Amino acid sequence: MLRLRITILLALLLLPARAHTEPADPYATERQRMVETQMVARGIEDPLTLKALAEVPRHRFVDEGRRSAAYLDTPLPIGHGQTISQPYMVAFMTEIIRPRPGQRILEIGTGSGYQAAVLAACGVEVYSIEIVPPLAERSTALLRELGYRVETRSGDGFFGWPEAAPFDAVVVTAAAEFIPPPLIDQLKEGGLMVIPVGTPFQMQTLMLVEKREGKTRSRNLMPVRFVPLRRGE
């Protein structure tokens, strides 16, 4: 029932957008299908997240040669060994940190800029750091062109963004073999950090880190590359 409600809500959300963008946006139908088949069908329920995913033109964040695959259920390479995450992964990571307008969120690994755009479309204040300079330049220019309000910086995500801290949430899209202590320090008490563990093009698990009463705990949520393991059983 809930899923039906969300689908109706989604359809309503998309109606004016489609009427407005269809002539200029040949991917609107694909995007709607992506939201319905890859997000709603797999249990993404947060209306704000779904609205953001229905709005952000994912195809603009991938190379022109790969635009036809932009809304498929897969990550895509964006150069420099980086990828734009699978759409469901972006949706899940967005929903899990419960973004609300006015919150302040730090993203480590801007990459294509898609995740930052989705967060910005949720109405949160986004700070995003990318270590690979060409990617940082490209995503900063694109986010500006598309009108998303995202503060970007090219540099080492290890140190976080102390001037803008503390953050309600930290989204680490380019995970490392360890979690930098400054990022945990810059997380608010009760704040959440979400990290995909594993490398692109393989089975990744989303890990949620929660800072509470001075202790940090983690929760491995589920493998996110494909339909969750338990769902298929």
Please, which residue, 4 or 217, has the CB nearer to another protein? Answer: 217
Residues of span 86-145 touching another protein by CB under 8 A: 131-133
CA distance 40 to 65: 28
Please, which residue, 120 or 206, has the CB nearer to another protein? Answer: 206
Residue type, 225: R
Q: Closest distance between another protein and the C-beta of residue 115, in Å?
A: 18
51 binds another protein (CB under 8 A): no
Q: Closest distance between another protein and the C-beta of residue 5, in Å?
A: 26
229 binds another protein (CB under 8 A): yes
Contacts of 128 (CB under 8 A, 6+ apart): 106, 107, 108, 110, 113, 116, 139, 150, 151, 152, 153
183 in Cβ contact with 195 (< 8 Å) = no
**Residue 94 φ/ψ, nearest 5 degrees:** -70, -50
Helix (H) / strand (E) element for 143: namely helix 133-146
Using CB under 8 A, which of 8, 19, 141, 203 touches another protein?
203
180 binds another protein (CB under 8 A): yes
41 binds another protein (CB under 8 A): no
Query: Exposed e or buried b for every residue in 187-214, given b needs 16+ CB within 10 A?
Result: beeebbbbbbbbebeeebebbbbebeee
81 binds another protein (CB under 8 A): yes
| CA distances in angstroms from 55 to 29, 121, 166, 199, listed in the order given | 11, 8, 28, 27
185 binds another protein (CB under 8 A): yes
**112 classed as catalytic:** no
Using CB under 8 A, which of 154, 165, 166, 188 touches another protein?
154
CA distance 122 to 103: 10
Query: Hey, what are 218's tokens?
Result: 């983690």
Using CB under 8 A, which of 80, 100, 149, 212 touches another protein?
80
165 binds another protein (CB under 8 A): no
Please, which residue, 33 or 219, has the CB nearer to another protein? Answer: 219
Helix (H) / strand (E) element for 201: namely none
What does the binding site for another protein look like in residue numbers (CB under 8 A)? 74, 77, 79-81, 131-133, 154-156, 158, 175-181, 184-185, 197-205, 207, 209, 215-223, 225-227, 229-230, 232-233
Q: Which residues are catalytic?
A: 85
